[in-house]
Amino acid sequence: MRCDFFQLATTGVQGLQPYQPGKPIEELEREYGVTNAIKLASNENSLGASPLVLQELYKHLNNLARYPDGNGFILKHALAQKHQVDMNCVTLGNGSNDLLELITRAFVTSAHSVVYSQHAFAVYPIVTQAVGAKHIVVPAKNYGHDLVAMQAAVRDDTRLIFIANPNNPTGTWLEQAELKNFLDAIPNNILVLIDEAYFEYVDKPNYPDCSLWLNDYPNLIVTRTFSKAYGLAALRVGYGLAHPDVTNVLNRVRQPFNVNQLGLIAAATALTDTDHVLQSVTLNRWGMQQMTQTFQQMGLEYLESAGNFICVDVEDGAKIYQALLYEGVIVRPVGGGYEMPRHLRITVGTEEENFRCLRALQTVLNKR
């Protein structure tokens, strides 16, 4: 007798759609017969990892039979120093996505609701749905988080609020005063997770470093990642900063070896190479200018972005995305769950990658 395993899955999981990652270059080349393709679809760092990290990793390749340090002591210690917090405020994750999931699983059940914004990062609905909690999706204001409306949306059963600053895919950001007002208004039995995955890239007035507020708000959790400005997306390392009591809860659900040894070594080394982060951020700044100036010349509207990616209005994102694939360029359509069918999200790459992407976009749009 066949078993319908889908029916066995929890109700929350039955309602999930698998996350759609950016198309890998190899897949595009195989399926579309193009060569020399470029990928500006997953907000990765086109500069790659720091050479210091690569050197350090080679030294540890002969140790792969050993489990990693389950406490991640060296990395946690370095992060605690960087943020001037106790080590027991730091939780490491297999990418910051791991933290988003861990926090939701630890604190939220089907009896709770989770608040996040329309157009917010796709993992928030996924982790909410996975635990069967209610989604309160607050309509965005000018594509960004509407904190006043988010505050008003909070209910008695709300346990967690996700805020991406800056947000992916919109690139919108929130300023210090509005975030502080928000935190002041939220009862401290509701966790507020501020996701700062793109923190290092932001160069906007009054953009806050929320990790400095942990003492003021015990219900605040700040997440960061090594996947973006540190160029370590493949190794999957992220972290959360929170009150020690929150960290204590997270450690109960965290898998014993959730961060791999090469990731731990790479991340700790990457923290020492501040020049590399600076180079990555500088490259992004130039690339962002290159993109926005060309969009202006092409008469395309775009959303001003604080991250390493930008959303541009091409009227029919899905169609232009497909046409770009034939030109060997992978970007990200943001219709579907992101509800932005007119836009494409393009990661800022090297000057050459940006140039190729913009030229392909021009070619494709001229054929319309």
Q: Which residues bind ligand PLP (CB under 6 A)?
A: 43, 95-97, 121, 164, 168, 195, 197, 225, 227, 233, 238
Nearer to ligand PLP, 217 or 226 (CB): 226
Other Cβ atoms within 10 Å of 367 Cβ, number:
7
Q: Which residue has the tokens 């204590």?
A: 248
Measured between alpha carbons, how far is residue 334 from residues 96, 134, 318, 342 in Å? 21, 23, 8, 8
DSSP conformation letters of 22-87: PPPHHHHHHHH---S-EE-SS---TT-S-HHHHHHHHHTGGGTTSPP-TT-HHHHHHHHHHHT--G
Are 347 and 340 contacting, i.e. CB atoms less than 8 angstroms apart? no
Instruction: Work out how close the CB of 126 gets to ligand PLP at its nearest, in angstroms, rounded to a whole number.
Output: 11
Nearer to ligand PLP, 113 or 225 (CB): 225
Nearer to ligand PLP, 201 or 295 (CB): 201
Closest residue to ligand PLP, based on beta-carbon distance: 95
DSSP label of 136 = E
Instruction: Work out how close the CB of 111 gets to ligand PLP at its nearest, in angstroms, rounded to a whole number.
Output: 26
How far does the chain reach from its first CA to its final CA, in angstroms?
53
Instruction: Work out how close the CB of 223 gets to ligand PLP at its nearest, in angstroms, rounded to a whole number.
Output: 7
Instruction: Work out how close the CB of 162 gets to ligand PLP at its nearest, in angstroms, rounded to a whole number.
Output: 9
Nearer to ligand PLP, 153 or 197 (CB): 197
Instruction: Work out how close the CB of 43 gets to ligand PLP at its nearest, in angstroms, rounded to a whole number.
Output: 5
DSSP conformation letters of 140-207: PBTTB--HHHHHHH--TTEEEEEEESS-TTT-----HHHHHHHHHHS-TTSEEEEE-TTGGG---TT-
Nearer to ligand PLP, 43 or 50 (CB): 43
Instruction: Work out how close the CB of 233 gets to ligand PLP at its nearest, in angstroms, rounded to a whole number.
Output: 6
Instruction: Work out how close the CB of 124 gets to ligand PLP at its nearest, in angstroms, rounded to a whole number.
Output: 9
Nearer to ligand PLP, 24 or 362 (CB): 24
**Beta-carbon contacts of residue 26 (< 8 Å; ≥ 6 apart):** none
Q: Whole-angstrom Cα distance, residue 209 to residue 76? A: 19
Are 161 and 186 contacting, i.e. CB atoms less than 8 angstroms apart? yes
Nearer to ligand PLP, 137 or 233 (CB): 233
Instruction: Work out how close the CB of 237 gets to ligand PLP at its nearest, in angstroms, rounded to a whole number.
Output: 7
Overall residue count recorded for the chain in this entry: 368
DSSP label of 115 = E
Nearer to ligand PLP, 197 or 325 (CB): 197
